[in-house]
Amino acid sequence: MSDVGQTHAELVDAFRNSMRHVAATVYAVTTLDNSNRYGILATAVSSLSFEPPSLLVCVNRSASLHDPLERAERFCVNVLGLGNRDVAEHFMLPHVDRFAVGDWVDDNGVPVLSTAQSSLVCRTVHRHLFGTHTVFIGELLAAKHRNDATPLTYFDRNYIDISEAPSRSGQGD
């Protein structure tokens, strides 16, 4: 593979197309700022450490959640399950109350989706600017998990059901 001669625009396009073909769990990242709820869908979320239990969340600085999250002391990463597709689709609509769909409760000072596969409430401990995004590092304050949920997964601009994926066990290279 040669990168000689690739323009910046070609590199960005190749990166975008590559990342579209990485299956990712869908998260609703939420916070509370001045008594107002804010949230976005995200796939750029990752566990960071078990000691202390922590996550990192990458948010574009132009996203509606960015500035409230920048000011907030806490946020929640709601891991969406297949049963939360309606929430995900509603979060994608412009200029709507994102919390009008789903069973949202205030827990530990942030909006938590009670039907999410998992809900991870974090205290913001670090913010790091990089490129177009801010990386928020959160230390876990509370966690809830449902054992019966399959994650809502995003792949190539579509939601997919990974529970129906064919098994590859026993197949050789």
Question: Whole-model pTM?
Answer: 0.86
Return d(Cα 70, Cα 127) in angstroms, integer.
Answer: 8
Tell me which residue of 80, 160, 162, 70 sits closest to 120, measured CA to CA.
80
Give the side-chain half-sphere CA count within 13 A for 151: 15
What is the C-alpha to C-alpha distance for residues 76 and 29, in angstroms, rounded to an integer?
6
Domains in the chain: boundaries? 23-114+126-150
Q: Does domain 23-114+126-150 have CATH number 2.60.120.560?
A: no
At 3, the pLDDT band (50, 70, 90 cuts) reads low
Nearest in space to 126 (alpha carbons), one of 30, 16, 49: 49
Q: Is the pLDDT of residue 140 over 70?
A: yes
pLDDT tens profile 7-66: 888 887 887 877 777 778 899 999 999 999 999 999 899 999 999 999 999 999 999 999
Six-digit token pair at 173?
């290279």
